[in-house]
Amino acid sequence: MDRAKLIELGIELLATVDIIKKQHGESELLNQAVSVSKAVLKKLRNMGVEIDFKRGSIYSEVSAERTRQLLKWGEQNHNPAEWLMILGEEVGEVNKASLEAHFSGYKNSGDYTEYRNELIQVAAVAVAMVECLDRTTSLGPVV
Ligand SMILES: [Mg+2]
């Protein structure tokens, strides 16, 4: 297995373990996933690769948001222009949240929680766009 694939696998395993832990608590499946994750991480460290655990946690938040979107809207197959309108709407919500956190006079002034939540939604929509493109073209990753 090449280095890039191993890094991708390590990050995906970390995100998966985090999601399982959040949704189901401790379990045998989780313990197995942890064992596999540790083995991959050990191999990565031996190769001199450092894993950013916070990044893995952010990816798991994006993945959870993507699952929430899928449950809410089902599989969405839009063309790129339609997707960009949807992404633009989400970016607009980031702008609004940022504005309300930055300027005084808003009830959430100084609080960037909603700004962060909206950024996760933007990332999840971008993932949905890639998923759709991969479903409808031959541009998807080679597994
Ligand atoms: Mg939003």
The model carries a pTM of 0.68
pLDDT digits (tens, 9 = 90+) for 33-92: 778 777 877 888 788 877 777 887 898 899 999 999 999 999 999 999 999 999 999 999
Q: Which of 101, 74, 1 is CA-nearest to residue 43? A: 1
Where along the chain do its domains lie? Answer: 1-51, 63-143
pLDDT of residue 143: 56
Distance from residue 127's CA to the centre of ligand 1 (Å): 14
pLDDT digits (tens, 9 = 90+) for 116-129: 999 999 999 999 99
Distance from residue 94's CA to the centre of ligand 1 (Å): 7
Q: Are the CB atoms for 116 and 61 separated by under 8 Å?
A: no
Distance from residue 117's CA to the centre of ligand 1 (Å): 8
Distance from residue 106's CA to the centre of ligand 1 (Å): 18
pLDDT of residue 33: 74
